[in-house]
Structure 1
Amino acid sequence: MASFYLLPLALLPETWALGLLLLSALVLGLPHGAADLVLARRLGLPLVPFVGLYLFLAGLALGVFLLSPPLALLLFLALALFHWGRLEERGALGYLRAALVLLLPLLCHREAIEPFLRAFAGGFAPPPGLAALVLSLLLLLALREKHPLRAWGDTLGLFLLALLAHPYAALAGYFLLEHSLKSLRLVGVRGREWLWVYGGTLGGLGLALLLYPRTMDPLAAYMGAVFALTPPHLLVVELWLGLRPR
């Protein structure tokens, strides 16, 4: 039950939790997205057109963030929920697990994430009722599926983490040690391919630095960069999931 191993993160104070989340810019977090360059080579995609299209899609998302931060927040949550749940490959249960990390803070820890919401989206947040509705629907759908008790126990551990830990700690734990780690294992980065990964990581960090003067908040700037890179990353991973050897 891997998620139970994340429960000690509930002991982290806010400052440490924020530090762990920001650390994901260098360790596992941004690098797992930068591994898209490796996936492009595995898929036989021509590098220059791939990078051009990738940056174009990221630019469109960045435009949404700059012009309408509330819309960007809604899209960010929706894309992350779909992408995280999809990579779990557990049906509705996978999406429920992603929703616990992404949406439960809107119900239980709204004050804790208020500084981020102000910096990222001017204080806007989805209504708690909408978050509760999505969580309820996903739970009902997951209950209709056939999952072993171990999977439900693991999800219970993730629920307890999202309920008891600071939202930054819960997000960092899941993003780093479940989603990003699984994604990198799926890609199977080897040897010199890490140069591609960390080259792309530096690009993501550069974008976050460019966004900092707008947000004046390190987490909001980092998440703004992650949001911009999420649409092309999601598409690359979907292509890989559809074409990878079985």
Structure 2
Amino acid sequence: MGSLSLLPLILLPEAWARGLLLLSALVLGLPHGAADVLVACRLGFSFPVFVGAYLLLSLLPLALLLAYPPLGLLAFLFLALFHWGRVERKGFLGFLRAGTVLLFPFLFHGEAIAPFLRTFAQGYALPPGVALSLWLGLLLLALRERHPWAQWGDTLALALLAALAHPYAALAGYFLLQHSLDSLRLVGVRGQEWLAVYAATLAALALAFALYPRFQDPLAAYMALLFALTLPHALTLEAWLARSRLPRRWPGPGGKSPRPGPRGRSGPA
């Protein structure tokens, strides 16, 4: 979905934006990560070994967040920026787009995210000067690449959304309608496979409920869950992106087997 179509989210009040972000636990957001169970099967991983390694890896960021919340926040931002940018598959422009959604709240919406940061990271916030420097660095790197004007226009629309909308609305719009959809298209979930995806989704939600007493806030508990799962999820998607080509029995979007992209990767560059 193009970023221009997300601009009406600017009109969402905070309560609705928060609700939309929490809705991603059941619609597209968390389920796109739960599709990792399909990736494991398609790559030929031993399922018990995969699940065991997945859970162990998820404990590392969770332990960091619980022990050192400010450092956990920084690690969460870095992991999300790296993973979202990789799924964009647009080089540094993809990382710029991810950074726009993740860094603009610290530049334009410090007061709006302060209550969340108090419960999630003991009130620590990325200094605006650091956020701006990181974003400008990504911009300079993206400008060195050649991208169609349409992609720059879409990135400008995303920047307007991140600057003007409530940060929950901008995050929900990008997370649900761009990142999650792109990820699900890469995996190609079909038919009854959604049953396995939602079984894994509900299992993951159990962790969020277990974390609620620690944070006393549903959004903070949900974000802690996403942080815990981002590391193993990102590694799983990296393994999926690194394959030489999709097996023909797993067609991509539109029902056609994708052709190898640049550098031997499948799908769009």
The two structures have a TM-score, normalised by structure 2, of 0.90
Partners in 1 of 2:13 and 2:127 — Cα distance?
A: 26
Equivalent position of 1:229 in the other structure: 229
Partners in 2 of 1:136 and 1:217 — Cα distance?
A: 33
Equivalent position of 1:220 in the other structure: 220
**How many residues of Structure 1 are paired with residues of Structure 2 in the alignment?**
246
Residue 244 of structure 1 and its aligned partner are, at CA, apart by 5.0
Residue 135 of structure 1 and its aligned partner are, at CA, apart by 0.4
Runs of 4+ off more than 2 Å: none
Cα deviation code 1:181-204 (max 9, x no counterpart): 110111011122112111111122
Unaligned runs of 5+ in 1: none
Cα deviation code 1:49-100 (max 9, x no counterpart): 0000000001122111211111111000000000001111111111000011
Alignment of 1:78-117 (within 5 A): 78-117=78-117
More helix by share: 1
Equivalent position of 1:176 in the other structure: 176
Equivalent position of 2:143 in the other structure: 143
Partners in 1 of 2:211 and 2:15 — Cα distance?
A: 22
Partners in 2 of 1:230 and 1:182 — Cα distance?
A: 16
Partners in 2 of 1:76 and 1:97 — Cα distance?
A: 16
Alignment of 1:1-246 (within 5 A): 2-243=2-243, 245=245, 246=260
Residue 126 of structure 1 and its aligned partner are, at CA, apart by 1.5
- 8 A Cα contact 1:204 1:226, kept in partner: no
Moved more, 213-222 or 186-195: 186-195
Partners in 1 of 2:216 and 2:30 — Cα distance?
A: 20
Partners in 2 of 1:190 and 1:97 — Cα distance?
A: 28
Q: Which has the higher contact order (CA 8 A, sep 6+)?
A: 1
Residue 29 of structure 1 and its aligned partner are, at CA, apart by 0.3
Unaligned runs of 5+ in 2: 246-259, 261-269
Across the aligned residues of Structure 1 and Structure 2, the Cα RMSD in angstroms comes to: 0.9
Cα deviation code 1:17-66 (max 9, x no counterpart): 00000000000000000000000011011100000000000112211121
Give the fraction of aligned pairs with identical amino acids, expressed as a percent. 66
Partners in 1 of 2:222 and 2:83 — Cα distance?
A: 18
Structure 2 counterpart of 1:171, one-letter code = L
- 8 A Cα contact 1:97 1:158, kept in partner: yes
